[in-house]
Amino acid sequence: MTTTFADLGLSDSILKALEKTTLKMPSPIQVQAIPHIMAGKDLMGLAQTGTGKTAAFGLPLLHRILDLGHPPAPKTVRALILAPTRELVSQIADNLEIFTKGTAVKVAMVVGGASLFKQAEKLKRGADILVATPGRLIDLLERGDVSLHATGYLVLDEADHMLDMGFIHSLRKIAKHIPLKRQTLLFSATMPKDIEELAETYLQNPIKVQVAPPGKPVERIDQGVHYLPNGDKALVLKEYLLKHPGEQALVFGRTKHGSEKLMKLLVAWGFKAGSIHGNKSQNQRDRTLTEFRNAELDVLVATDVAARGIDIPGVRYVYNYDMPNVPENYVHRIGRTARAGKEGTSISFCAPAEMGELQAVEKLLKKTIPVLGGAPWAADVVAAAPKPGQNRGQRPGQGRGGQKAGSQPIQRAAPGKPGAKPQGKPKPAGGNFAPRRSEGAAKPRAAGNRTPR
């Protein structure tokens, strides 16, 4: 028997709003989660991005808030939804605005990179639902611009990514402002030990719902890996992109600086490319994402800030220009393709220093990724590879060892082998786009200054 939204007990006003959306039938995560949330239970939901998690927690929250029948007090918040990135916060808020059309429910969002004064002014009137990044919310709490003393609902969306980005201290600080008597919902695509501990800390006898094995990528995605030095990655990426002109591609780099330089290089080569990362303002990121969604850009270069929750149906290809240093992020990256029943392709570039990251990904997937080019790096090559941050001296477009694009690769003899020539002071191998410390793995700082927000 097919379950409908009406079968889940949602109010007539919400059902009426849903009629004007593309949501006709509830997804598996919505069927499982909504009844428990409506009953006031704490819940831990395990589901990959793109499965309808926002509606799974948003619709029952709206139902319960509508039952209150009166507006929130000034500066107070009834329900708080925390998400790790500005893009995800914006997407959640946009969806909630659609669901609340025609009702008196007020939805607000606060993120870094936008006017703190304007956000504080909006919160003066109070909000039924506040969607926020942790850093900016702490800024507003410390200024006294918002109060969580009347917050009865707390939602942690993409909780695993929040932990990856070092937001655990921010979560602890925020939780102190929220009453212990509350309903807490935690949604995550993976279930590492840290998430289990987080659930034990903040959830009371939670109901656990799961619609797909954590970490399992979409089956419709063709995956492959290309083994090559860092200095060759840009040219090989160019060759791949030229094979599918007019089809959109998402390229993931590890660092803000490297992603920006790669984007500029692609533009110089004639590609319609843009970039989003933590150094971009919120307006810049929103504008670039809009251009990509509208097919005004063919290539979007991004750090892992774009890997979670961003639904861009036109993306056919995902390139892991740098391997992610958190294996679960691989699943989220490639999940940006094969959306809405379509097929997709994921191609990863693996340099010698990234063999460990690739092996961690394959361990998570419980399978070996097919080889598209090159061969797995030998242990001695991996051991001799420059560590992250050591190969920054190469200009864009150069091949390995710093030679110009299109020149013959420099053949380097291994130490101790016959024919080895003295090379003087060794030069850094690889290129500007070598893996360095991840944008999301920043050193701990004051919670109020954390980026991205």
CATH number at residue 193: 3.40.50.300
Is position 451 within any domain? Answer: no
Whether 233 and 201 share a structural domain: no
Residue-level pLDDT at 365: 87
At 284 the pLDDT is: 86
Last residue of a domain, one of 210, 239, 256: 210
Within a domain: residue 407? no
Both tokens of 207, joined, read 């109901």
Lowest mean pLDDT among 167-181, 280-294, 305-319, 345-359: 305-319
Structure tokens at 255: 């660092």
Q: Examine the pLDDT at 12 and tell me if it is beyond 60.
A: yes
The span from the CA of 217 to the CA of 198, in Å, is: 24
Whether residues 304 and 351 fall in one domain: yes
Q: How many domains does the chain have?
A: 2
pLDDT-wise least confident of 72-81, 402-411, 415-424: 402-411
The pLDDT of residue 56: 94
Q: Which one-letter amino acid corresponds to residue 298?
A: D
Q: Assess whether 146 and 270 both reside in one domain.
A: no
Range list of β-strands (E), 364-453: 371-373
The domain in which residue 331 lies consists of: 221-401+425-438
Instruction: Kindly state whether residues 25 and 67 are assigned to the same domain.
Output: yes
d(CA 118, CA 107): 15
Is the same domain home to 10 and 153? Answer: yes
- Residue 198 pLDDT more than 80? yes
Backbone angles phi, psi at 108, to 5 degrees: -125, 155
Residue 420 pLDDT greater than 60, yes or no: no
Q: What is the pTM of this model?
A: 0.65
Residue in 331, 371, 372 with CA at minimum distance from that of residue 218:
331
**Residues 73 and 133 grouped into a single domain:** yes
User: CB-hemisphere CA count at 13 Å for 347?
Assistant: 18
Q: Kindly state whether residue 15 falls inside one of the protein's structural domains.
A: yes
Is residue 81 assigned to a domain? yes
Mean pLDDT of 419-447: 41
Mean pLDDT of all residues in 290-300: 91
pLDDT band per the 50, 70, 90 thresholds, residue 85: confident
120: left (phi over 0), alpha (psi -120 to 50) or beta: alpha
Q: What are the residue ranges of helices labelled H in 317-387?
A: 327-334, 355-365, 379-384
Tell me if 59 sits within 8 A of 23, measured CB to CB: no
How far is Cα 329 from Cα 118, in angstroms, rounded to an integer? Answer: 33
* 45 part of a folded domain: yes
CA atoms of 41 and 439, how far apart (whole Å): 35
Q: Which residue has the tokens 């500005």?
A: 86
Q: Are residues 252 and 163 in the same domain?
A: no
Two tokens at 363? 């361990």
**Which pLDDT band, with edges at 50, 70 and 90, does 306 fall under?**
low
Mean of the per-residue pLDDT values for the chain? 82
Average pLDDT in the 283-305 region?
88
| Domain end point (choices 175, 210, 245) | 210
Domain for residue 260, yes or no? yes
Contact call for residues 188 and 46 (beta carbons, < 8 A): yes
Shared domain for 92 and 33, answered yes or no, is yes
The reported pLDDT for the residue numbered 214 is: 53
The answer to whether residue 127 scores a pLDDT higher than 70 is yes
Predicted confidence (pLDDT) at residue 110 exceeds the cutoff of 60: yes
Cα–Cα dist 56/38, whole Å: 11
Q: In degrees rounded to 5, what are phi and psi of residue 297?
A: -120, 140
Q: Are residue 190 and residue 313 in the same domain, yes or no?
A: no
**Do 242 and 158 share a structural domain?**
no
Query: Of 150, 179, 210, which closes a domain?
Result: 210
Tell me if the bond preceding 435 is cis, omega within 30° of 0. no
Highest mean pLDDT out of 103-107, 174-178, 395-399: 174-178
**What per-residue confidence (pLDDT) applies to 446?**
43
Instruction: Look up residue 151 and give its two tokens.
Output: 């917050």
Does 226 lie in the same domain as 203? no
Give the pLDDT of residue 441: 42
Top-confidence residue, 451 or 105: 105
Pick the more confident residue, 36 or 331. 36
Position 409 in a domain: no
pLDDT for the residue 423: 46
* 229 has a pLDDT exceeding 90: yes
Residue 134 within a domain: yes
Alpha helices by DSSP H, listed for 178-312, are 193-202, 233-243, 256-268, 282-293
Indicate if the pLDDT at residue 27 is higher than 80.
yes
271 and 308: one domain? yes
Cα–Cα dist 206/184, whole Å? 9
Compute the average pLDDT of residues 118-146.
95
Residue 219: which of 318, 322, 342 has the closest Cα?
342
Instruction: Provide the pLDDT confidence category of residue 196 given band limits of 50, 70 and 90.
Output: confident
